[in-house]
Amino acid sequence: MNPDGSPLSIPPGPATSVILGRIERELRDMWSAQLAPGEAPRSRACTMNLVVAASSRDVADRYTAVVDEVTASIPSRAIIVALEPDAPTRALEGSASAVCVPGESGVVCSERVGLYASGSVCARVVSTVEALLVAEIPTTLVWLGRVHTDDDVFTSLASSAQRVVLDTEYTSLASLVQLAKWSREEEGRPALADLAWTRLATWQELCARFFDEGRTREHARAITRVTVRQASDSGARLGSETALLLGWLATRLGWRATRMGGALRLKREDGRDVVLSVGAVAKPEGVAPGALASVEIEATTGGTSMVGTIVRDLASGADVEGKTPDADVVNWSLDLTGQPRQSRRVRLRANKGARVLERTLHRPAHDAALVESVRFAENFFEDGVVIR
């Protein structure tokens, strides 16, 4: 910051190293300053570099609150970069600050660096970020926008990270598909993560539950129909969550995608068809477009049929303290021929931006199931499945 509290900035032209030097000095001074009388001692903690790249200053500003919440539980050096390459001006601004929360024994602080680049300066940002990374700890890049793997800024930032995080629910599945292709082209490229995939985790677990018992286990290989509903208008495209869930089911169960007369069909390992039905339900306010609303799995084997159903009370999370509209209650039930119905009501995890990013960062970096599911989901993407 400048003495008057405004961010450091340089007019178009001068080297970015001037800004970088100031930020580095600010970061140093932050921890060497004398405590004011009565001020609690602060500990700096850093377990990862969290680089967030936004497509505009506005998006970066809005996401700063999410980052601050995440670093409260995962102490990090957060570097939030706003990139506006098409802006008419050519400028770089930067600032550094400590983000502190009370810890178990004193105040624990993360560091937050903000960078705003416009015009051709955007190309220089990568080297600025590189210089600001703390050594010997993992780096995660959160990319808030569509991915273009031919964009040098993206590939350079991604190459310095061990993991790239997207949110395909708000960008597109195409970005994830592109990123997955880019990632597997060369060894050593970062792992990929998707907040939509993280949100899906509870759904996956609930689906797996249908086949946990000895008496239903064989039904997993005998699924005849899958019905999925997503919260969206009729005619909308297949949502990321829906596509990834279907990709996940297919890859776990060894299904193949085939095309008969251009239409996508799913075949089980034994060659039989799985009927796929995807539909829409009305999207209440506050629920993300394309969010999963229900899943129904039907299977028949050995003379017994099972129907497993997961139905979400859309927007029911809004009534609960500390939850968000998408941390809904879901009703899980299992009906098996000749058996009493099993049912449970469980709540989806809070999917507020910070919580879902935090959970994503806690997951293992390499997730083979995501990679495989994305590959399969390409079928839906290529097929342009439309919801009716």
Partner 1 sequence: MDATNPLRRGLVEDRTGDPCAVIIFGASGDLTKRKLMPGLYNLALSRALPGGFAVVGVARRQQSDEIFRQAMREGVGKFSRRKILDEAVWSDFERGVSYVSGTFEDPKTYTDLAKHLDALEQERGIGKNRLFYLAVSPNDFGTITRHLKEANLVKPPSRDTTEWTRVVFEKPFGHDLASARALNDTIASVFDESQVFRIDHYLGKETVQNLLVFRFANSLFEPVWNREHVDHVQITVAEEIGVEGRGKFYEQTGVTRDIVENHLMQLLCLTAMEPPISLAADSVRDEKVKVLRSLRAMDRSKVPENVIRGQYGRGFVRGDDVPAYREEPDVAPDSRIETYVAMRVFVDNWRWGGVPFYVRAGKRMARRVTEVAIQFKKVPHGLFRAPDGGIRPNVLAMRIQPDEGIALRFISKEPGQQTILRDVAMDFRYGTAFGSNTPEAYERLLLDAMRGEATLFTRRDEVEAQWEYIDHVFDAWANEASTPPPAYASGSWGPEQADDLLAHDGRRWRRP
Note the residues at the interface with partner 1 (CB under 8 A). 43, 45, 47, 73-75, 103-105, 108, 201-202, 204-215, 217, 220-221, 249, 252-254, 316, 320-323, 329, 332-334, 339-347, 363-364, 367-369
Please, what is the minimum distance in Å from the beta carbon of residue 322 to partner 1? 7
Q: Name the burial class of residue 11, with classes exposed (0-12), middle (13-18) and buried (19+) by CB atoms within 10 angstroms of its CB.
A: exposed
CB 114 within 8 A of CB 65: no
Non-local (6+) Cβ contacts of 360 within 8 A are 165, 193, 195, 198
> Closer to partner 1 at the Cβ: 18 or 368?
368
Cα 205 to Cα 209: distance, rounded to the nearest angstrom: 6
Cα 106 to Cα 119: distance, rounded to the nearest angstrom: 43
> Closer to partner 1 at the Cβ: 75 or 290?
75
Report the relative pairing of strands 76-84 and 163-166 from DSSP bridges.
unpaired
Non-local (6+) Cβ contacts of 381 within 8 A are 173, 174, 177, 238, 243
CA distances from 341 to 285, 334, 348, 371 (A): 32, 6, 21, 35
> Closer to partner 1 at the Cβ: 184 or 341?
341
Closest by CA to 373, choosing from 252, 278, 230, is 252
Closest by CA to 356, choosing from 232, 245, 200, 123, is 200
Please, what is the minimum distance in Å from the beta carbon of residue 125 to partner 1? 29
Report the relative pairing of strands 223-231 and 42-44 from DSSP bridges.
unpaired
Token pair for residue 216? 């239903």
> Closer to partner 1 at the Cβ: 332 or 381?
332
Please, what is the minimum distance in Å from the beta carbon of residue 151 to partner 1? 30
> Closer to partner 1 at the Cβ: 148 or 215?
215
> Closer to partner 1 at the Cβ: 153 or 245?
245
> Closer to partner 1 at the Cβ: 151 or 372?
372
Residue bearing tokens 């609960």: 320
Please, what is the minimum distance in Å from the beta carbon of residue 119 to partner 1? 39
Please, what is the minimum distance in Å from the beta carbon of residue 349 to partner 1? 8
Please, what is the minimum distance in Å from the beta carbon of residue 332 to partner 1? 6
Please, what is the minimum distance in Å from the beta carbon of residue 254 to partner 1? 8
